[in-house]
A and B are shown apart, each in its own frame.
Chain A
Amino acid sequence: MSRYESIDKILKVSIKFYLTQLVDISLNQRARGEKEMGNCISGDVGGGKQAIGGVQGRPTANNNAGHNDAVDHFFRARGQNPLFTQIELSISASKLRDRDITSKSDPMTILYVKKRDGTLEELGRTEVILNSLNPAWIEKINVAYQFEIVQHLVFRIYDVDTKFQGIPVKALKLNEQEFLGEATCVLSEIVTKRNRSLTLNLHSRNGPGGSRNLGTLTVHAEENFSSRMAVEMKLRCSQLDNKDMFSKSDPFLRISRLLESGNSVPICKTEVINNNLYPVWRPLYLSMQQFGSKDNPLLIECFDFNSNGDHALIGKLQKSVSELEELYKDRSGANLVFPSSRGQEKVLKGQLFVDEFIEKVQFSFLDYISSGFELNFMVAIDFTASNGNPRNPDSLHYIDPSRRLNSYQQAIMEVGEVIQFYDSDRRFPAWGFGGRAYDGTVSHCFNLNGMNAHEVEGVEGIMAAYANALHNVTLAGPTLFGHVINTAAQIAGQTISNDITKYFVLLIITDGVLTDMQETMEALVRASDLPLSILIVGVGDADFKQMEILDADNGHRLESSTGRLATRDIVQFVPMREVYSCRISVVQALLEELPGQFLSYMRSRDIKPVNA
């Protein structure tokens, strides 16, 4: 019951977000429309004409179309985003302490999430199990898994007194119950476990270390979705009505899911095909989460694109996914209808055809992670002179004796503490660039720890090597990324021949303007086919326009001087100054796209989770 409620809530939110999305798209169109008056021959698709929601993350398809803040919201609102998955936690415990005199304890677990400020927020309670010291609770507790955040969980077990039996668990006052123990962990620790189960020792409120054995608690995580099934369809129409005065219609399809309430929620739209009454759209990719079930009716509307956002309906029809499959099998078309004024529907000549229908299995990020796939973390730090003398308090590299972290340390900590859970050996390559290194020459990729081995242990290891390097390395220049990217790409390239379960994440922290923009672009284009993502954090007040070019979020693929293009977007950039200006960590924004980039790589190669 509670699950249906939450679906309903998600749908309501998604309608709201869809409205915002429409507004965003039409604003975008207006802006683009004005711009394009001047240069009408542009290679890219005009704003708002892209396909949304049905585009699979494939490197070889033009999948940049989906990158749009409004669309991200739209996805997120539906709980659809691969980074935002509902997880169901099952909890059991063993060897709990016995607090009752005549019988055994009657335990219940409460799950909290610890927020950044240290306060606890209750996420849910299990039922009370009577008379058991080894309870396995049936009631599951839902948590929204977010890759980009370290989610600290606190489990507390109470013995519920017999006199409160029959009272709903939500209403129980905890100060009237007997405390049996607590356990803490991070959500990532559970999902990265092979069987997605983690056993924790229970301890008293004062934290671990007490001598008394309070038993253990086991958490098991299961992703909460109906199916991994998805369909890929190629749709086309014939004999569409003409809606434009001077040319033919510019048709696109919008597909919505019909709800029992009679409302509909848009789930995807195709790209616009200009001036064509027989349009063929690129393949659509719909997941089970989007269409609900194969028998759920979908509303398919065909519109004539209008740049002012007022798209004219050409015709519509209702078909479920299984009916669309029938159309495909019979190679037959379905007629579009047009609602006329008297509430009747006029059957049009225009027809919809399904030229291709493929059912696919779509694995989630967590499917890979829990089957042993890893994210391997690497760091490169800018030692160019523009950072300022590290002994000087206004230097970006200044290490505050009061232990307040500088921007470099902050970026290492924030990214590192999220990613470390996905790297089993926690040995991270750490480099510096643009500094006069230990041997006296300027190097654009030197080992941060000053030794021959580039790996350091843990995030603490990176922090120590960084602090140490500041004493031994003289800041120099210029700012070159090429060497670092090459080194990281070589490591990633060497690994794929014998291990397909590793994906690399290179964090570059820099204060400045690149000297080797062209070399960097070439290296990125060549590296775009590797299991590698590059996160760039800009510190200080420099103008980071260049970095925005490297981060291909605007839909342009990076291009080398020889005409080779990046097969996918592997760079994410954020300026650190935004960290101070807003409450939400910008590092989160940096990490958000990682699971998507990981999936686009794995899916393009048809690499499946182990044992799947």
Chain B
Amino acid sequence: MESKSRTLEITILSGEDLRIDNKSVKKNAFVDVSIDPFNCKTTKMDGEGGSNPSWNDKLVMDMPMQTRFITLAVKCKASSGEKTVGLARIPVTDFIGGYSPETCLQFLSYRLRDPKGLKNGIINVSVRVKEPLHACSSQAAAGLGIPIDGRNDFGVVTGIPIWSGYPSNSFFR
């Protein structure tokens, strides 16, 4: 039987031009990734990157089938407490059912908006949905340097994407 959730590998790569009250973030930026209020993970804090932090932090999370958005909240720890730098909502459809198979590594970038709704920097992430039944060709993800001798001969088995096997309404329950 099909499971009710799938495994999401989300790597929070970097941020660009982060500001708080129009001043560049100096350090200690981090990202909260939430699939729902009870399913959150947090990256490590960036100590050196200033307003262009890089985290390269891979978070593995369970994503229920009905999830439609993932929320990224970039925050910053200061002496006065935590401040929110900006938010981005990633529609799940941006990486499932897009041009490339979701089991391949996909790079995504989003505009962040601060709590007032104003544009504030950019966040770069990469996403991969783990589907153990469906092999993925992404070398980066698999870490394999497969030598390919014949150009078109890959011995590939055509597979129907797993998600298309679900009743279509299960997405939007």
Contacts and interface: CB of A to CB of B under 8 A. Distances in A.
Nearest to A502: B151
A168 B48 CA distance: 61
A612 B145 contact: yes
Interface stretch (B29-37, B75-83, B132-140): B132-140
Contact of B148 (A355, A489, A526, A610): A610
A251 to B, nearest CB: 13
A498 B109 contact: no
A604 interface: yes
B48 A567 contact: no
Given A273-B50, A563-B113, A62 B16 contact: yes
Contacts of B52: 62, 282
Contacts of B140: 605-607
B1 interface: no
B23 to A, nearest CB: 10
A497 interface: yes
B148 A60 contact: no
A280 B54 CA distance: 12
A61 interface: yes
Nearest to A525: B109
Given A496-B100, A565-B122, A529 B147 contact: no
Given A280-B48, A490-B99, A606-B140, A501 B148 contact: yes
A604 B14 CA distance: 14
A564 B138 contact: no
Contact of A565 (B22, B106, B110, B152): B110
A355 B152 CA distance: 44
Interface residues of A, number: 47
A604 B148 contact: no
B104 interface: yes
B49 A61 contact: no
Given A43-B17, A61-B14, A605-B139, A530 B99 contact: yes
A493 B98 contact: yes
B69 to A, nearest CB: 11
B99 A372 contact: no
A274 to B, nearest CB: 7
B137 A563 contact: no
B124 interface: yes
Given A489-B99, A497-B100, A526-B98, A564 B110 contact: yes
The range of chain B's interface size is 35 or more
B119 A605 contact: no
Nearest to B26: A276
B6 interface: no
Contact of A611 (B99, B100, B113, B147): B147
A487 to B, nearest CB: 10
Interface in B87-138: 88-89, 91, 94, 98-101, 103-111, 113, 119, 121-122, 124, 126, 136-138
B107 A59 contact: yes
Contact of A529 (B17, B103, B108): B108
A43 B119 contact: yes
A564 B151 contact: no
B101 A567 contact: no
A559 B156 CA distance: 35
Interface string A552-589: 00000101001111110000000000000000000000
B112 to A, nearest CB: 8
Interface string A229-261: 000001010000000000000000000000000
A310 interface: no
B154 interface: yes
B59 interface: no
A27 to B, nearest CB: 25
Contacts of B101: 493, 496-497
B70 interface: no
A563 B111 contact: yes
A565 B123 CA distance: 9
A562 B90 CA distance: 9
Contact of B137 (A61, A496, A566): A496
B13 interface: yes
A59 B105 CA distance: 13
6 contacts: A61-B124, A372-B151, A492-B99, A563-B110, A605-B139, A608-B139
Interface of B: 13-14, 16-17, 22, 24, 48-50, 52, 88-89, 91, 94, 98-101, 103-111, 113, 119, 121-122, 124, 126, 136-140, 145, 147-149, 151-152, 154, 156
Interface of A: 41, 43, 45, 59-62, 234, 236, 273-274, 280, 282, 355, 372, 374, 424, 489-490, 492-493, 496-501, 526-527, 529-530, 557, 559, 562-567, 604-608, 610-612
Nearest 3 Cβ contacts at the A-B interface: A493-B99, A60-B124, A565-B109
Given A60-B126, A527-B99, A529-B100, 15 more contacts: A59-B107, A273-B50, A355-B48, A372-B151, A493-B99, A497-B103, A497-B137, A498-B156, A499-B137, A500-B139, A529-B108, A530-B99, A557-B122, A563-B111, A611-B147
